[in-house]
Structure 1
Amino acid sequence: MTRPVLAVLALALNALVWGLSWWPLRQLDANGLHPLWATACVFTLATVVLTLISPSGWRHFKQHPQLWWLMAASGLTNVGFNWAVTTGDVVRVVLLFYLMPTWSLLLAWWLLHERPTRGALARLGLALLGVVLVLKTPESSWPLPQDLPDVLALFAGFCFALTNIWLLRLQHTPESSRMMAMFGGGAWMALACAALATLTAVIPAVFAVQPNAVDVAQAAVTWAPYVVGLSVAFLVSNFTLQYGAARLSAHATAMVMMSEVVFASVSSVALGASALTWRVGLGGGMIVLAALLASQTQTSKDNTP
């Protein structure tokens, strides 16, 4: 099997993991573990494993304090996406999350001083039109976010774009440190948000529905396979992403990664977690097309002598 084929399969595995992650998160939620606490557990376990594998990853935070910003942006991405995909319509959440290239354009203009071209503004308009179609429902007079999952999905996409900006600015730092920042951010930000939300009664405490020690133990046993499975899956998907992205063009990488939309849509519709309407389908197509056009443009720039 050739390297390009392995790279495509590696990226497809990454997309599959994230496209199906909504299901174990919902199983945990159904068994009393809120997605914020679930995210905290999953990423804490993954961070511990990474620390044992590569303890040197933490040593560069003092030399490169901007890694803390990467940690915050990456952590909030996972907090927003996991909470949204657990409690909202999976297709809508994934499509709104993939508005990320639009946020990247605006953030690059602000933080990197990269003025957008006419083509970039056209793609921005295409993506925003897609968002209007996705957000608009027959019951609403304006295309506004309908509920908390919509807001969280948009927020997660913005944070993911910010994560990518920080990854670009920190490309000179060791890869192990960037990876530690991303997984550590998932753990710390989820723990902080979960604790704050619990204290303010926005979400229930971890063991709020378990009245005694026996029930607590049973709940922990029920949660363990999902938490361990997600931790392993996210670690593997990160490694496969690094392998595939390093061996394919930016456009090819984006094309394969867009399969996450397919995995999430097909699985959620089949299992009754989403309703695919013509508005969502058409709007989602526009968002995905804008993202693919953006990646194609970036590839052309990278290949220019």
Structure 2
Amino acid sequence: MNARLLPVAAAAPGLAVLALTLNAFVWGVSWWPLRFLQAQGLHPLWATALVYALAVMVIGARWPQAFGQVWRAPVLWVLVLAAGSTNAAFNWAVSIGDVVRVVLLFYLMPLWTVLLARLLLKERLNRWAALRILLALAGAAIVLKPPDAGWPWPSGLADFLGIAGGFFFALNNVMLRREAHRPQEARALAMFLGGVLVAGLLAAVLSAAGAVPLPPAPRTAWVMVALALTGGFLIANLALQYGATRLRANVTAVVMLTEVVFAAASAVWLGNEVVTPHMLLGGALIVAAALLSALEPPHPR
């Protein structure tokens, strides 16, 4: 969800892996402060807009030239939309739904990446891509299948948001590859700015329609948590940049899958959620598709 901001330098691989694991941990447990903020009356959409607005101010203060770079590159607004939709959907989903289920559906992104890479990057479909699609679809069908009977279909808003979040994250990653020649700070600002604009606009529209409550008056409890969440996301961003610029892309992708573990463990421990056998099986297939995506050998476009 972030761009690389730090220069590449020699570093111990173990430290880079630790940095990526920290990033995965922050995102894996982010549902907990988001639910706290929701309990305080701050809807996840408003919370996302607020937290990312604070992050944009920090990034803008450090790289002020990034605003002009984004403004002069209309294609980066696709990245704004993709990153903003990812964060709005994911943060809303984990605040209202089963955390493990949402994270697994979010990690269907290898399926969307195959399709988007074919459409936007003109990458050819091969047997590896076909296998990833089959694994991801099989895992999704198992996760979504009702316990009694019926078709495997999203059963509520959280399911749809989790799937949408994964799709837009795949679009985010494909656009980062397509626009890799753009300044790094511009890509980073575009993604954080997306969290402000997409979540903020959606929150404003839904609040005007009476579907989402307006933000409550500032109170010490939720303001401090919002500030802490902002700091956590910024630290996670820096950790991602540190690790991702020092490790191969496939290693980064594999390490980032630990987010599923952190999300599941924290949901069981803090949220009293139950991981069922069918969810474990479906999750294993989805994670296998993601691993296959990370370990796939390079092939010509």
TM category (shorter chain) comes to over 0.9
Distance 1:69 1:222 in 2: 35
Amino acid of the residue matched to residue 92 of structure 1?
Answer: R
Structure 1 CA distance for aligned equivalents of residues 154 and 25 of structure 2 = 27
Alignment partners' CA distance in 1, 2:77 and 2:125: 28
Tell me what 2:198 maps to: 189
SS in 1 for 2:72: coil
8 Å contact 2:110–2:132 — kept in the other structure? no
Please list the CA deviations of residues 69-97 of structure 1 after superposition, one character each: whole Å capped at 9, or x if unmatched: 10111001000000000000000000000
Identity of aligned residues (%): 49
Cα distance change on mapping 1:38 and 1:10 into 2, 3 Å = same
Secondary structure at the residue paired with 1:159?
A: helix
Q: Which residue of 2 aligns with 1:228?
A: 227
Deviating runs (4+, > 6 A) in structure 1? none
Find 2:147's aligned residue among 124, 132, 138.
138
2:298 to 285, 298, 301: 301
Maintained 8 Å contact 1:92/1:134? yes
2:108 alignment counterpart: 99
1:103 maps to a residue whose letter is W
Are the equivalent residues in 2 in contact too, given 1:75–1:184 (CA < 8 A)? yes
- Output aligned runs, 1:134-283, within 5 Å: 134-207=143-216, 216-217=217-218, 220-283=219-282
Gaps of 5+ in 1: 208-215
C-alpha contact (below 8 Å) 1:89/1:273 kept by paired residues: no
Alpha carbons 1:99, 1:287 under 8 Å: kept: yes
Cα deviation, 1:204-232, whole Å, max 9, x if unaligned, reads 2223xxxxxxxx34xx3221111111111
Deviation string, structure 1 residues 118-138 (Cα, Å, up to 9, x no partner): 221111101100000000121
8 A contact 1:89–1:275 mirrored in 2: no
Q: Which residue does 2:6 correspond to in 1?
A: none
The equivalent residue for 1:78 is 87
Unaligned runs of 5+ in 2: 1-9
Question: How far, CA to CA, are the matches of 2:22 and 2:280 in structure 1?
Answer: 24
Alpha-carbon displacement from aligned partner over 1:257-285 (angstroms, at most 9, x marks no partner) = 11100000001011235220011100001
Structure 2 distance, partners of 1:140, 1:7, is 45
Q: Amino acid of the residue matched to residue 261 of structure 2? A: V
Residue-by-residue CA offset, 1:275-300 (whole Å, 9 max, x unaligned): 20011100001000110111101xx3
Q: Which moved more, 1:15-24 or 1:271-280?
A: 271-280
